[in-house]
Structure 1
Amino acid sequence: VGLELGLFKNRVSLELDVYRKLTSDMLLNAPVPSTSGFTNVFRNVGSMENKGIEVNLNTINIDNELFGWETNFNISINKNEVVALSGGSDIFLGSTLIRVGEPVSTFFGYIDEGTWNTDEADQAAIYDRLPGDIKYRDLNNDGAINSDDRAIIGKGIPDGFGTFLNTFRYGNLELLVDLQFQYGNSIMYRDEHSAEDRQTIANSFSTVLDAWTPDNQDTDIAQIMPIAAGYDTNNDSGKLKEASFLRGRNLVLSYNFKPELVQRLHLNRLRLYTSVQNFFVVTKFPGYDPESSNGGGAFDQGFSLYDYPRPRTFVLGLNVGL
């Protein structure tokens, strides 16, 4: 369903779309029992539904000979849900889960409750743990931490995303400010597996300076131990980071030369501009870029493992129309 609206001699224009799309026969490289001789096989696994709203708003805020200001705002809000699976059983993709009633790329892992303290030594021993080790929640209270204690801990698909553009004109000068945003999703920050490991045999984050010690027990970072002690590589809620962000996608300042000069040069247009791409990012995500992901596709989004950072690009250019 769509709506288009123009007001005040089209100085305000609105496009609104509400949608619902059912996708059947989802194709997935799904795991199969090892007794088959294969690890994965492509098969149709079920159906999913996407429903939401898309809004695009354009406004001419000021428009006169000396100064102009135009705005464009668009947002897409989407809800994704798996509605049917062949066989009805959950599909486990290592760190993510496909389950009826949940979105695809749902994170499935342990709930990190910090570290065991010295006054919890007896309780930690029940789980074959020591003070300074990571503490996982025993969901079924059976006195053991295993795959039965995993739960849904987040999702890699955002609730919404969009852009906010403003164009300002003063005489022959023009400034474009292009902002981008996204919210409602998380990233499994796998960098912490090695950069916050408890042997410090690799390059480490500065956060290891806050690792557990008998004098520093109020911390989520495990005690530094000899290499033989090993360390936890589980995907857990402690490594799941909020990935909402506001990005300065593009900033462009340009000057359009006066028609008199352009004509004398036998040109149709002459424009000098400079721009900065990716000029700022506001986010709680601790990694290089909240948009980066080296997951395995549509069903396995939202993973970060030493992703290459998005560069900040500076451009100086000249547009010439002949």
Structure 2
Amino acid sequence: MYVRNPDGSLMVNTIYNRPIYDYGDGKDYGNGLMNYARSPQGNPAGDLVYNREDYLADVFDGKWYAILTPIEGLTLTGTIGYHVDNTRIHYSHNRLYGASASYGGQNIQIQQRTRSLQYQGIASYQRTFGDVHNMDLMVGYESQGLQIEQVQAAGQNLYNPDNWTVNNTIDQRNGYGYQSNLVHRGIFARAKYNFDGRYFFMASFRRDASSRFHPDHRWGNFWSVSGAWDVAKEKFMQDQRTWLDMLKYRISFGQNGNDAIGTRYLAYADQYQITGADGIFSDGTLAYKGNPNITWETSNSFDTGFDFSFWQGKLSGSIEYFQRQTSDMLFNVPVAPSNGYTSVPMNVGSMRNNGVEIDLNYRVFNTKNITWDLNANITFQGNKVLKLEKTLLDEEGKWLSGSRIFREGESMYQLYLVKWAGVDSETGWAQYWAKDADGNEYATPNANEAYNTNRQSTGNLMPKAYGGFGTSLNIYGFDISASFAYQFGGKVMDTGYQHLLGSGTSGLGNAWHKDILNAWTPDNINTDVPRLATAAQYSYGSYTCDRWLTSSNYLSLNNVTVGYNIPEKLLGKLGLSTLRVYFAGENLALWSKRKGLDPRQGYTSSENYTYSPIRTLSGGLQVTF
């Protein structure tokens, strides 16, 4: 991390009076040239000391509304919301060390203004007829406008190391600015009806527009219907009410629209970069390839199930079947760079998720001084790609995107990888399964050969089920609760572990996993960790393949809370209604197949550069007067 003197002490920069950090650049810091350099060069700890980043924001949020009730049951509501965020960002990259040292450092100033304005008007009418017919009607209109404006300037070669302004630079000064706008419009209506609290019906419709799409494809229509029946309230169930509190059957279907695709707010239009000099404009270069034919992505959701409660709430819960089918999925499809652009926004196909959810709550004790509850839920889920854009598919009907493979009728959560063949016990080299011209597999240390002849699908990597469970206990004023989450039955690429068993060709400054101690040697030939060597072949030792697939099962302790409520008879003299002392912990523990592996990061891979949820400990007093 640090540059040291020959006696082992830290070398200090006399200008800043701070330690000098080792950036792996091989420079001479006063004791001769460092005897090595590494790539990439950098030192995050040094950057925190010598570089500067400031984020300054002025934010305003306002909401105004008016409510009118001209006649009984009719309510008119108008709402205006306004948000503005003026953010200033200062970057000062020092002139002595790191990526900007070669040109004397760099200062960057950014001013960004984000403004949004929302209007909404709603008319609702509620009425009850004959004490059993309950009606609720609603219509409305809404508008949302978002505008982002940014100005940025940058310069190189700093004069004063403590001044972050661009005026403090003398070289390569430049600036630019842009403005982006996004507008949504929508009209909607909803009708709800229930008969005597036993039969429930609801229907809704909305029509939305997005400025991301071409005017010919800007509007989308979305609707929903639902119904429910509370069986327990029927007369023929009267004899069961001693143990049956509620038994409600429900069924629903609904649609939602999605227009999000990338960061471009005009996804349908080709966009060009202005170029030229000395008052002469050049033909603009294509900066973004639009698609005037894209339109709304639609999600169709269906679910049906039962809600129940027995024995005055001692046991309650729900069980349901759900199906989520997404059509016209929005995706920036990669294309050959020779086209002059690297991707095109498209509606590429449809996909289905379906499964069963079970949610249970059980009250173990319910007395004056003791209450103990248990809860648990589990979801079994499947996934299938239903349709893909034909232009994306090869002659075998598959679409390859990096290490991902997509095929109709199969899960989207699968990878297309080289097969690991273990370690050659004689040489210690990593081996992979390749295929010859006749389709026969053979082991080879050449991973590229295996990649070109024998990549195969991993199959569905999704967990078979996921869920959570917890408990809460209140006993004589003390309370304690805990919640857990889990999943099982899937696999994930442990890329963090892969990198920690990485190449030995440039190991200076790299970290290794302790399993590297089990690497092949002439005395340790029966191992699955390849030999350590500086030869180029070792670069295949951590090649991306199915070697790194690991169980994605996990159990996490998400929350524990402990508290105590001071008895009311002790609070009277203080003029307080309640006083509670508590301690809480969030994201306290995670148990997985390998230490450092967090399967919660994704269904296909767990990245070593993504932080897990931060563990938080807190405590305090809750007072009510």
Over 3 Å off, 4+ runs: 154-157, 227-230
Q: Note closer, same or farther for the CA distance 1:31–1:184 as it changes in structure 2 (3 Å cut).
A: farther
- Equivalent in the alignment of 2:489: 184
Partner Cα separation in structure 1 for residue 378 and residue 365 of structure 2: 23
Instruction: Tell me if 1:38 matches 2:341.
Output: yes
Over 3 Å counting, the alpha-carbon distance change for 1:136 and 1:66 in structure 2 is: same
1:208 to 516, 534, 541: 516
The residue aligned with 1:257 is 566
1:12 Cα deviation after fit: 0.8
Q: How far apart in 1 are the matches of 2:591 and 2:495? A: 21
- Do residues 279 (structure 1) and 588 (structure 2) align? yes
Q: Distance in 1 between matches of 2:545 and 2:536?
A: 22
Return the structure number with greater relative CO, CA threshold 8 A, min gap 6.
Answer: 1
CA distance in 2, matches of 1:212, 1:104: 37
Q: Whose Rg is larger?
A: 2
Matched, 1:58 2:343: no
Q: Give the structure 2 partner of residue 222 of structure 1.
A: 530
> Partner amino acid for 1:70?
D
1:156 Cα deviation from its structure 2 partner? 4.8
* Structure 1 residues 213 and 182: alpha-carbon distance in aligned structure 2, compared to 1, 3 A threshold: same
Distance 2:411 2:571 in 1: 56
Q: Any residues of structure 2 matched to 1:5-16 within 5 Å, and which?
A: 5-16=308-319
Answer yes or no: is 1:18 the counterpart of 2:321: yes
Q: 1:69 aligns to what?
A: 372
Q: What is the CA–CA distance in structure 1 between the aligned matches of 2:606 and 2:591, rounded to whole Å?
A: 19
CA distance in 1, matches of 2:411, 2:597: 26
Does the 8 Å contact 1:288/1:307 carry over to 2?
no
In structure 1, C-alpha distance between the alignment counterparts of 2:328 and 2:429, rounded to whole Å: 44
- 2:535 & 2:609 partners in 1: Cα distance? 22
Residue in structure 2 matching 1:138, options 431, 434, 438: 434
Q: Aligned partners of 1:113, 1:287: CA distance in 2, in Å?
A: 25
CA 1:310–1:21: 2 relative to 1, 3 Å = closer
Counterpart CA distance in 2 for 1:142 and 1:15 is 51
Instruction: State the partner residue of 2:579.
Output: 270
Structure 2 Cα separation of the partners of residues 240 and 301 of structure 1: 9
Please report how far the alpha carbon of residue 220 of structure 1 lies from its aligned counterpart in structure 2 after TM superposition: 1.4
Aligned-partner SS, 1:50: strand
Query: 3-state SS of the aligned residue for 2:450?
Result: coil
Aligned to 1:237: 546
Aligned-residue offset at 1:34: 3.6
CA shift digits 1:6-65 (9 cap, x unpaired): 111221112111012221111222222343233322212211111101111111111112
Distance 1:183 1:42 in 2: 35
In 2, are the aligned partners of 1:177 and 1:251 still within 8 Å (CA)?
yes
Q: Which runs of no fewer than 5 residues in structure 2 stay unpaired?
A: 1-303, 443-448
Structure-1 separation of matches of 2:441 and 2:314: 65
CA contact (8 A) 2:564 2:580 kept: yes
Same amino acid, percent of matched pairs: 26
- Contact 2:331–2:347 under 8 Å retained in 1: yes
Q: Read off the aligned partner of 1:135 and give its amino acid letter.
A: Q
Report the Cα offset of residue 112 of structure 1: 1.2
- Secondary structure of the 1:319 match is strand
- 1:63-108 CA-to-partner distances (Å, cap 9, x unmatched) read 1123221112112211011111121532222122111222223122
Instruction: Write 1 or 2 for the structure with the bigger share of strand.
Output: 2
Corresponding position: 1:166 with 2:471? yes
Q: What whole-Å deviation, never above 9, does each CA across 1:214-268 have from its counterpart, x for those lacking one?
A: 2212111111111544512532111111121111111111101111223332222
Shift in CA distance, 204/154, structure 1 to aligned 2, threshold 3 Å: farther
1:310 aligns with 613
Aligned-partner residue type, residue 291 of structure 1? R
What secondary structure is seen at the aligned counterpart in 2 of 1:106? coil
Q: Contact 1:58 / 1:71 at 8 angstroms: preserved in 2?
A: yes
SS of 1:191's equivalent in the other structure is: helix
Instruction: Read off the aligned partner of 2:514 and give its amino acid letter.
Output: S
Which residue number in structure 1 is paired with residue 136 of structure 2? none
SS in 2 for 1:176: strand
Q: Does structure 2 retain, via aligned residues, the 8 Å contact 1:271–1:318?
A: yes
CA distance in 2, matches of 1:104, 1:263: 62
> For 2:329 and 2:501, how far apart are their aligned partners in 1?
37
- 2: CA distance between counterparts of 1:34 and 1:222? 37
Matches of 2:546 and 2:382, distance apart in 1: 22
Normalised TM-score (structure 1) = 0.87
Task: Provide structure 1 residue ranges, at least 5 long, that are not aligned to the other structure.
Answer: 119-130, 294-299
Aligned counterparts of 1:32 and 1:285: Cα–Cα separation in 2: 37
Q: Distance in 2 between matches of 1:145 and 1:274?
A: 55
Q: Which residue of 1 aligns with 2:330?
A: 27
Partners in 2 of 1:158 and 1:175 — Cα distance? 31
Q: Distance in 2 between matches of 1:289 and 1:172?
A: 37
Alpha-carbon distance, 1:155 to partner: 4.5
Match of 1:128 in 2: none
